[in-house]
Amino acid sequence: MQQQTLLVTGGAGFIGSHFIACFLSNYPSWRVLNLDKLTYAADLARLKECEQNPRYRFVHGDICDAPLLACLFEKYDVRGVIHFAAESHVDNSIASPKPFIQTNVEGTFALLEAARAWWQPEGRPRAGYENCRFHHISTDEVYGSLGAEGFFTENSPYAPNSPYAASKASSDLLVRAYYRTYGLNATVSHCSNNYGPKQHAEKLIPTIIRCALEGRPIPIYGDGQNVRDWLYVQDHCAAVCLIWEKGRRGETYNIGGHDERNNVQVAQEVCALLDELAPSPDGKPYKRLISFVQDRPGHDRRYAIDSSKTEKELGWRAEEDFGTGLRKTVQWYLAQRGGLAVF
């Protein structure tokens, strides 16, 4: 069987790297072309298990580089796109929003144009390219903030509250427009907060682990009552595979873990696992290090995802709950550090 090429953007990132490993394991008739700019949050070390796979290739490049994209689509005859590449740190978007507009909006536009030009050079799909799919990875943050009850569905109105969320909402709408206007076979997914091994150090759970093991204050924004729905990264990747393979054209799918925790609860659960797996040298519980810092501007109070559409249509279920997934995550980080607290 002739192998086809899937272009994965941002594949050296946290979620993208897990997805590439998952995809290569489950789709033996496909090759993966990983396009990544290798900005601060990317790390090719996440892909060591894939480096020797003959069906994997890495290209260092920018999704905003239209000539490069055109070259890659033609050279590798790209038949599918999974678009992870994005600037994603909310705090950074508040301090410096321009890169978020450039990558998340302009980069998505360039990628859509490249796909349209290669798959539909005369305004309609060329023969054999009718099922080529563009899947766009997005976030629940495009929906804004929830109250104490309720869930985001695929029909929830967009109400982004940070430059990051606004840039992702903009890119979502571009993807929708290319489906409606040009008939591009496109889908979008919105995920809740991902966690798991290999996440960048700036994120909440790695920060809690690092600060605790170094005996430093564990910073929690505001009163710590901001609630997120936590989704184990490999469960997210499994859902993306199903959407790419079986999702309906032009549809949006929500992916959530059904595991809500506020930030204080997350910190306490991580600390309890560290007490068990890597006790502090002085024998004191790590939760004593939890401290509260000034809240960030526009900090949404609660996100929660209704994944029932994805579950019913595609048969997806999250396999990890927060307890099992968090234990795997903490164990992985401890293994990277030699399993010891250092203060």
Instruction: Give catalytic residues, as residue numbers.
Output: 140-141, 164
Q: What are phi and psi of 84, to 5 degrees?
A: -95, -30
Rg of the Cα atoms in the chain: 20
Which DSSP state fits 50?
Answer: G
Residues in the chain: 343
Q: Which two tokens stand for residue 68?
A: 């490069």
Q: What are phi and psi of 10, to 5 degrees?
A: 70, 30
Please identify which residue in the block is written with the tokens 């309720």: 150
User: Can you tell me the distance from the alpha carbon of 106 to that of 128, in angstroms, rounded to the nearest whole number?
Assistant: 29
Q: For the chain, give the longest Cα–Cα distance.
A: 70
CA 137 to mean position of chain CA atoms: 7
Please identify which residue in the block is written with the tokens 């990890």: 320
